Every structure is written in C-alpha cells, then in structure tokens.
Chains A and B, each alone.
Chain A
Amino acid sequence: MNSKNTATIGYGLLLLALIAAPFLGAYPVFVMKLMCFALFASAFNLLLGYTGLLSFGHAAFLGGAAYVAGHAIKVWGLTPEVGLLLGTAGGALLGLLFGWLAIRRQGIYFSMITLALAQMLFFACLQAPFTGGEDGLQGVPRGKLFGLIDLQSDLVMYYVALVIVVAAFLLIVRTIHSPFGQVLKGIKENEPRAISLGYDTHRFKLLAFVLSAALAGLAGSLKTLVLGFATLSDVHWTASGQVILMTLVGGLGTLSGPLIGSAVVVLLENKIGEFGNLLAALTSVEWFKTLGESVTMVTGLIFVICVLAFRRGIMGEIIAWLAQRRAGSSAKH
C-alpha cells in the first residue's frame, strides 16, 4: 500500500467520522468550533508550512473577519452566505494590507511587523463603537441560508459548516499541489534561487498571504455564525500564538497536521480542568486541581517541548515513521 492510499483512507475515515459525529453523541456546536479552528490552522499552515513565512498576526484575520461578518448579518440584516463572503473578503483585504507592509522586511522582522499590525487592529477594535468593546458583538442571528435553509437547528448548521470547511480544505490541498504551490515551496527552500529562476517572489508571497488571510477570515466568519458572537479574544495576540501552537503540534508543512493539532489544542484547553481533577484524584496532589486555571502555563510548556524535541509534530512524526518503515521493507525485497 503506498502513502497516497494510506492518506486517502485516512481522510475518508475522518470525513465519515465527521458526518456521523452528531449521531455518535458529539455536541455539534463543539465539533463546529473544532472545524473552524482546523480551517484556521490549515490556512495558517499554508503560509508557515508551505511558504516559510511566520505570521504572528493571524488573529487579526480571524477576529477582524468575525466582526465584519457579525456586523453584516446582525446590523445590516444580510443573509448568512453574504455575511460569510463579506467576512472572507474582509480577511483578504486586511491580509493584502498587512502582507504588503510586512513583506518589505525578511525573516524575524516579518513576524514582528505582523504581530505589531495585529496589535494595532486589536486596539482599534477595543475602541471602535461597532465591535461592542469588551462585551463583543453579541446576538448574531444565524438566519436562513440563501433565504431558504433555516440554520437555527444545530444539525442543519453542522452540515452546512462541514461542507464549507471541507470545500475550503480541498481548496488548500489544490493550491499546495498546483504549480503556484510548487513555487511557494521553492521560495521556502531557497528564495534567492527562486528569484534567479525569474519568479517575482514578492508577488507570490503576497498572494499566499492574502489567500491564507482570506481563509482565516472564512474560519472567523463561520465561527461567528455558529456561535452567534464575535469577541475581542479572537483578535488578541494570544489567538495568533494559539494557531502557531496548533500547527506546530500537528506538524508544520503537513496537510493533516493542523487538523490534528487544532483538535489537540482545543480539547486540551477545554478538558484540562477535568484532567487536572483526575490527576488530583489519582495522586492526591491538591495542586493539580488548579490546572484548569493554568491553561497558559500548560500551553507554554507544550510550546517549549515541541520546539526542543518534537519539531516535526504529531503528523510529521507519523509520516516520517511510515516512510522509514516503507524504506526498510523495500530494502528487504
């Protein structure tokens, strides 16, 4: 069995599991939240894993688009699909602006500039009247898709969200395997060589940045539609840090990595309190009970461990292990 088949079977099983999830007792809203973060991380990975650009400001696209979509649906009374489109366009536009500015500098400066720009947007959102300040934008109605399909039911919303996320993921897969995606990989491996081959690397990087921002915007808009609110925490820099962690834990530059990584990180953040209580019961160390309030501490620890010892991430390790085994077995024959 070759690696392509293994991957196809894996994705097939994942899709089946997602289709069946609401009937297997999973809480649809929680799975939808997971899917939004999976899309967010995949969009981010398109930039870091495949183009080699570490954006430290992706929260701006997630949170900014969430406000745009929420405002369009709630205040302007537009239908959900138009809201999603406007949110995505908002993400793309912000991406164009940020990318255009940040690509002027290389490497680590690029990361610092994107972080600073995102922080600027955070302060703007904190003060702007339409974001609702610290309370956020509450009570965004789901409405009717195309004016026909009522999204009030979680189950209907779930399948609509699933279709959107799968379509966006396929777009990412297609992009990576396209000639455009190959050029991006070339830029990541060796930018001077890509330039010497005649590629306008600035334009390619900017395009990748805008695409990644647009998809992050889609994730943010969808999240607003699902949960019915947009908050400051989505524009805060910690959300940018979170998406880096998701991608790193799952595996940089692997398609499936961000999916796994986002699930691990979101589950960890939601379940760590219970896990702490369990540990406290097992070891009778009272301190473990406070683990639920120390999510940042655990997140930080995972970051440090990943960077020092686990840079390939979960999927990266699995893929490397499979490849090694295959190489071993083909050597025997």
Chain B
Amino acid sequence: MWPSDLNSLHLLLPPMEIFGVSLPGLLSQLLLGLVNGSFYAILSLGLAVIFGLLNVINFAHGALFMTGALLTWMAMNYFGINYWLMLVLAPLVVGLFGVLIERLLLRWIYKLDHLYGLLLTLGLTLLIEGVFRSIYGVSGLGYDTPELLEGATNLGFMIMPNYRAWVVVASVVVCIGTWYVIEKTKLGAYLRAGTENPRLVEAFGINVPVMVTLTYAFGAALAAFAGVLAAPVYQVTPLMGQNLIIVVFAVVVIGGMGSIMGSILTGLGLGVIEGFTKVFYPEASSTVVFVIMVIVLLIRPAGLFGKEK
C-alpha cells in the first residue's frame, strides 16, 4: 500500500511549499526532530533528577540508554521476547543495574568534589561500552518496528510514520508523569526536600540513602526506556549513547538543571530546532545545539530555566 521508504512518502501528497521546502517534507523533519527531542528530554530529565539528589553528573546515562536498546535487541534475537514486554523489562533490568552502581560505586564518592562523580561514571561508561563492544563490535544491529506500529497514517497535510508518532507520545507521557510525581505528590515532595537539605529530611524519619538509591535507579530506568524506544529508530550499536550524551550535556547547560519542566521543554524544543536545521542548512544540523549553547551562555549564563548551584 505504502512505499517502504518512509522518506519518500511525501511524494504522494500534493506539493505545498514553504521557503522552497515542501510542507510535508518540512513536517516529516519536524516529527523526526521531535523524536530526537523526546530522547533529549527523557535523558536530560534523568540527569537533572540524579544531579539534584546525588550531586553527580551521570556520564553513564548514554551507556545506560544504549544498554536499554541493546537488551531489547538481545531479548528479541535470543529469546524472542517482543518489543512491548521489553518496554517494561529493560527499564526494570537497567534500574536494578542502577541500584548496583549506586550501592557499590557511587556511594563512596558523595563527600568528594563533583568532578569525581563525573570521572567515575565516565569510567563506567567506557567499561560498559567496552564490554558490549568486545561482543558486538561497532556495526549497527537492525531492530524491526513492532508490527502494531508499522506503516504510516495519512493526515491529509502530511504522512505520519506511526512509530515516530508513538515515540513522541510515549516520551511526553513519561516526562509529564515524572513531572507530576516530583512536583505534585508527597513522594516528590520528599525528593525535592532531599535535594534542598538531606539531613533535615532524614531527621523527619525518611530513609534518605534508600531514596538516593531509588532515584539513581529511576534515572537509569528512564534512560533504558528511551533506549527501547530508540531501538527501531536508530541503529543499535554499543556506541549509540556516546554522541547522544554529549548533546544532552549541552541541552542541560542550555536549560539548567533546576527545573523538571524546563528540562522537558528544552529537550523537545532543541530537537525541533535541530530538525528544522536539517531542512534549511543540513551542514549545521550536528552542531546547532552547541551553537545555541554558546548563544545562551552569552546572553543568560545560568541557562534558560537555571539557578546556579
């Protein structure tokens, strides 16, 4: 019914042009930008939550994202476990892995300078990526789009690949859910209080060390969830998290880590800007986020939603 190449789908629609670019083409890039933006949003959200409570910048976030994607691929190829089950299982497994990381490694460095947290998680990243690299090499492993979301929907003004729409919807739901829990529930209130003053929260009878462990595990699980979503979109490789995490760092610098909603909006917004750049000036699409970071540093050094910590 539809041509298999999703990028040529817009040819089926009547031409409409904006600045010399066809409207369906523009919208499909916009959607692709939103897909990338969704990953930026989930990952920067996780970074912000972890940094808030642990004071550690989790460089391993990209590696955990990759682990989520690779686990999904492994489950399908070795055990025939499908995508939908992995959407739950991968975050659980990686979350448990996060518990181990926090309990065995991160726990020992909280009292030290921030930089040791970055270095420890950098080492962890190299270790995790190295292990998977020694097994799977660096070439991409393909993962098929789940049957239910195959194909595309004709919206009249554009043809929308179903899976991409699903990634955006699922990410936004998870992000908003996280925002709701942290900003509006009692659990979230403990968490926010722990970010401000962990000792005082402990004095009120909250088990802060457990809260810290669970926070890290939750951040890791979020990264893995994004990884599962990414498996059918990107090529699954042991190095897929590397470049992403650096862009996410830039996103975090732009947005500031003070606000949950700020992280979500910045992530999505930058994805969209990146998508548009791909249409109008493709050469700059890999650097546009960094350029925006420079501009933000010049105009608002603390970040768009930031308060210096």
In angstroms, Cα B253 to Cα A293, docked, is 35
Among A104, A111, A112, A294, chain B packs the most CB atoms within 10 A around the CB of A112
Is B127 a contact of A300 with CB atoms below 8 Å? yes
Binds A, one of B13-21, B183-191, B285-293: B285-293
Residue A229 interfacial (CB < 8 Å): no
Is A120 a contact of B291 with CB atoms below 8 Å? yes
Residues of A within 8 A of B124 (CB): 300, 303-304
Question: How would residues 120 to 147 of chain B score, 1 for a CB under 8 Å from any chain A CB and 0 otherwise?
Answer: 1011111111110110000000000000
The one of B134, B246, B302, B308 in contact with A119, judged by C-beta atoms closer than 8 angstroms, is B246
Residue A237 interfacial (CB < 8 Å): yes
In angstroms, Cα B250 to Cα A300, docked, is 23
Residue A113 interfacial (CB < 8 Å): yes
**A112-B250, A244-B119 as given contacts; A303 in contact with B126, CB under 8 Å:** yes
CB proximity of A294 to chain B, nearest CB, Å:
4
Question: How would residues 273 to 305 of chain A score, 1 for a CB under 8 Å from any chain B CB and 0 otherwise?
Answer: 000000000000000001001111111111110
Number of residues from B at the complex interface, CB < 8 A: 46
Is A296 a contact of B301 with CB atoms below 8 Å? no
Residues of B within 8 A of A115 (CB): 246, 249
In angstroms, Cα B125 to Cα A116, docked, is 17
Residues of B within 8 A of A104 (CB): 297, 301
Is A116 a contact of B293 with CB atoms below 8 Å? yes
Residue A54 interfacial (CB < 8 Å): yes
Residue B108 interfacial (CB < 8 Å): yes
Question: How would residues 116 to 136 of chain A score, 1 for a CB under 8 Å from any chain B CB and 0 otherwise?
Answer: 110110011011000000000
Binds A, one of B110-118, B148-156, B270-278: B110-118
Residues of A within 8 A of B123 (CB): 299-304, 306-307
Question: How would residues 230 to 255 of chain B score, 1 for a CB under 8 Å from any chain A CB and 0 otherwise?
Answer: 00000000000011001101101100
In angstroms, Cα B62 to Cα A241, docked, is 15
Among A104, A105, A109, A237, chain B packs the most CB atoms within 10 A around the CB of A109
Residue A108 interfacial (CB < 8 Å): yes
Is B127 a contact of A113 with CB atoms below 8 Å? no
**A105-B308, A304-B127 as given contacts; A296 in contact with B133, CB under 8 Å:** yes
In angstroms, Cα B303 to Cα A104, docked, is 11
CB proximity of B63 to chain A, nearest CB, Å:
10
In angstroms, Cα B249 to Cα A111, docked, is 10
In angstroms, Cα B293 to Cα A111, docked, is 14
**A108-B114, A127-B283, A296-B126 as given contacts; A116 in contact with B253, CB under 8 Å:** yes
CB proximity of B263 to chain A, nearest CB, Å:
14
In angstroms, Cα B127 to Cα A306, docked, is 13
Q: Which of B52-79 contact A (CB under 8 A)?
A: 57
Residues of A within 8 A of B298 (CB): 101
Among B126, B297, B302, chain A packs the most CB atoms within 10 A around the CB of B126
Is A307 a contact of B119 with CB atoms below 8 Å? yes
Residue B174 interfacial (CB < 8 Å): no
In angstroms, Cα B308 to Cα A60, docked, is 26
Residues of A within 8 A of B297 (CB): 101-102, 104-105, 113
**A116-B250, A303-B122, A304-B120 as given contacts; A111 in contact with B133, CB under 8 Å:** no
Is A116 a contact of B127 with CB atoms below 8 Å? no
Is B126 a contact of A124 with CB atoms below 8 Å? no
CB proximity of A270 to chain B, nearest CB, Å:
17
Residue A248 interfacial (CB < 8 Å): yes
**A107-B114, A120-B287 as given contacts; A101 in contact with B109, CB under 8 Å:** no
Is A297 a contact of B134 with CB atoms below 8 Å? yes
CB proximity of B137 to chain A, nearest CB, Å:
9
Question: How would residues 91 to 109 of chain B score, 1 for a CB under 8 Å from any chain A CB and 0 otherwise?
Answer: 0000000000000010011
Q: 15 additional contacts, CB 8 Å, given A101-B298, A294-B131?
A: A102-B297, A105-B253, A105-B301, A108-B117, A111-B118, A116-B253, A119-B290, A126-B286, A297-B127, A297-B131, A299-B130, A303-B119, A304-B120, A307-B120, A311-B112
Could you list some 17 contacts between A and B, CB below 8 A?
A48-B115, A54-B115, A105-B301, A105-B302, A107-B115, A108-B114, A109-B253, A111-B57, A111-B115, A112-B57, A112-B250, A112-B252, A123-B286, A294-B133, A295-B130, A301-B127, A307-B116
Residues of A within 8 A of B (CB): 48, 54, 56, 101-102, 104-109, 111-113, 115-117, 119-120, 123-124, 126-127, 237, 241, 244, 248, 290, 293-304, 306-308, 311
